[in-house]
Structure 1
Amino acid sequence: MKSRLTLSALAIALPALFSIGCVSDSAVANYRAQYRVAQEQILDLQAQLEDKDRQIELLRGAKNPNADLQAQLADALADRAALEAAVAKLKDQLSRAGTTPIPVELADELARLAEANPDLMSYNEKTGAIRFRSDVTFGSGKAELREQAAPIVERLAQVLSSPVASQYEVRVVGHTDNVPIKNAFVKQQFGDNWGLSTARAVAVMKGFRSAGIPESRMSVAGYGEFRPVEPNGPRGSEANRRVEIYLVAMPGDEAEAEAAPAAEAAPSNTLAPADTVVPMKSPKPADEGPELYK
């Protein structure tokens, strides 16, 4: 009875959240999708719990308990504990629905991966963005993944290939600081920071592709030095040298579009095809914002 009352309280709380005027339509669709899936799973688990309780009651009421019945009872109690833990986890996810721009289950998995690799990557729960530090992910002036970064990119690809994540497009966006390229060889390879930022985004995309993410789910872009997250100093900024990954609803599918877009966190400009790097025109003035590679 306690479980049903808890679920009823959550059922009242979330519709109240949907009615708040400042929440966007896409966010409301996200909350509803998360709530609906979690609610259905909780109800199913609760039904399994009731069946397990009946089984336990029968086993405990056996007139001539033997070793086999005792073993069955122990297994049933263990199963019941696992079901209760699963219900508790889903209720936690349900209570947090709407606090993240992507499903809570996916957000938790990304957060755990970032916590396990703090020197290489971070995860922003508010925006749903994953960030790789370029100084650790790449060598200076290079666009090939370092040996220590490749396994983490592969592990991230596995998370992004999960059923809960498969409804999202993976947008990979490269950034640099404002230090111009001076090395002649690097300049010949990439031209400028636009080229370097996009080449690094492509390198991460290729890592995802090698790990099994379809190209149809991915796009890449490079912003060069024009989207800093902190002011650049005389030697630029390590924080500005980064590659970010955004998850947005896949286009053309109503069910996916109803799920949980992180569109407000991701770049809004048109992105280049996943394996394309094309020289940029001169950037627009700062008040208009930079173009992407087309």
Structure 2
Amino acid sequence: MKITHRIARGRTIALTTLLVAVAGLGTGCVSQQEYDRLYETNQSLRSQNADLQNRLGTLESNNSQLQGSAGDAQGVIGRLRSENTTLRDQLAASQNAFASLEDRMNSMSIVQLDPATDRALSDLASQYPDMIVYDGESGMLRFVSDLTFASGSDQVQPSAMDSLKTLASVLSSNTASKYDLRIVGHTDDEKPGANTRRNHPTNVHLSAHRAISVRKALGDAGLDWSRMSVTGWGEYRPIVANNPGKGTAANRRVEIYLVPSTRNNLSVSPSLENATSNTPSTPVDTRPKIDPTK
């Protein structure tokens, strides 16, 4: 606005000066010197006016560019806000899904055993206090590996067989038959020696092989094989901090978790059974027949 006023003022001064000069000339009252001075003033004002016009044009152009940039910036801001809202919604959905999954995992890991099975397992742990620890809140039995296995071995020691046979008897009862067993092997973080690596390349192998050996001992003692699964975590699920370079006995263990049985969920649907029963006993050749005379 100030530049516009200056341009208008310059135009007014130039016009006034020109009129005064013309009026003076018309009356013959202006000297040549005064005329020259007024002429120079008029030319100077014309030059100033042209300069201000150029500056005004530049400013108006810059203003248009800034307005365009501002519009673009507003568009970018709007798009970023929309993307931010979408990401927030996705994050909230992921957090809800994670919380739901965590609740499911927690509910799966905590099993309330029936009183008879709980009491029998507690009595078993009392019978073998140096070998077995029982946690009734999670339905978990923990076998101390150093008493169950020789160092670097996956063969169950004879001294541990009696406890496993007794456990198989307890878990074969009517009340305990509704539970499946998750047999989980663990080690400390000491790397297997050269002799051990021949059969168990890593601690994960050793822990899994020990879990398999416990499963075999229970199965040989009469426990239903279909109720048992095995996992080996190696050194990756310690219950206490490992003692570097010295090994940690507490982390060398085999845990047995009792969980609700899923065997009834694996029944074959009637439609699948019918489809199987209707399947021909011998394959039928459906390829087009070729007439050898043609």
Q: Aligned runs of 1:23-172 on 2, under 5 Å? A: 101-172=112-183
With over 3 angstroms needed to count, the CA separation of the structure-2 counterparts of 1:247 and 1:100, relative to structure 1, is closer
Displacement of 1:26 in angstroms is 11
Equivalent of 2:195 in 185, 188, 211 = 185
Secondary structure of 1:149's counterpart equals helix
Provide structure 2 residue ranges, at least 5 long, that are not aligned to the other structure. Answer: 1-102, 266-294
The code of the aligned residue for 1:117 comes to: Y
Q: Which has the larger radius of gyration?
A: 2
Contact 1:121 1:132 in 2 (8 A): yes
What is aligned with 1:233? Answer: 243
With over 3 angstroms needed to count, the CA separation of the structure-2 counterparts of 1:100 and 1:168, relative to structure 1, is closer
**d(CA) in 1 for partners of 2:106, 2:152:** 39
**d(CA) in 1 for partners of 2:106, 2:149:** 35
Displacement of 1:114 in angstroms is 0.2
Provide structure 1 residue ranges, at least 5 long, that are not aligned to the other structure. Answer: 1-23, 29-98, 255-294
**d(CA) in 2 for partners of 1:117, 1:236:** 24
Contact 2:143 2:254 in 1 (8 A): yes
**d(CA) in 2 for partners of 1:200, 1:220:** 9
What is aligned with 1:223? Answer: 233
With over 3 angstroms needed to count, the CA separation of the structure-2 counterparts of 1:25 and 1:229, relative to structure 1, is closer
Equivalent of 2:261 in 250, 258, 272 = 250
Secondary structure of 1:246's counterpart equals strand
The code of the aligned residue for 2:127 comes to: A
Displacement of 1:137 in angstroms is 0.5
Q: Which deviations, in whole Å up to 9, do the C-alpha atoms of 1:76-125 show, x marking residues without a partner? A: xxxxxxxxxxxxxxxxxxxxxxx971111101100011011111111001
The code of the aligned residue for 2:209 comes to: A
The code of the aligned residue for 1:148 comes to: S
Contact 2:186 2:252 in 1 (8 A): yes
**d(CA) in 1 for partners of 2:209, 2:146:** 15
Displacement of 1:185 in angstroms is 2.0
Q: State the aligned residue count.
A: 160
What is aligned with 1:211? Answer: 221
Secondary structure of 1:220's counterpart equals strand
The code of the aligned residue for 2:170 comes to: V
Contact 2:134 2:140 in 1 (8 A): yes
Contact 1:27 1:101 in 2 (8 A): no
Displacement of 1:126 in angstroms is 1.2
With over 3 angstroms needed to count, the CA separation of the structure-2 counterparts of 1:162 and 1:114, relative to structure 1, is same
Q: Which deviations, in whole Å up to 9, do the C-alpha atoms of 1:265-284 show, x marking residues without a partner? A: xxxxxxxxxxxxxxxxxxxx
Contact 2:111 2:259 in 1 (8 A): no
Displacement of 1:252 in angstroms is 4.6
With over 3 angstroms needed to count, the CA separation of the structure-2 counterparts of 1:181 and 1:164, relative to structure 1, is same
Q: Does 1:202 align with 2:212?
A: yes
With over 3 angstroms needed to count, the CA separation of the structure-2 counterparts of 1:252 and 1:214, relative to structure 1, is closer
**d(CA) in 2 for partners of 1:27, 1:229:** 18
Following TM superposition, the consecutive aligned residue runs of length 4 or more in structure 1 with deviations greater than 6 angstroms are 24-28
The code of the aligned residue for 2:144 comes to: R
The code of the aligned residue for 2:178 comes to: Q
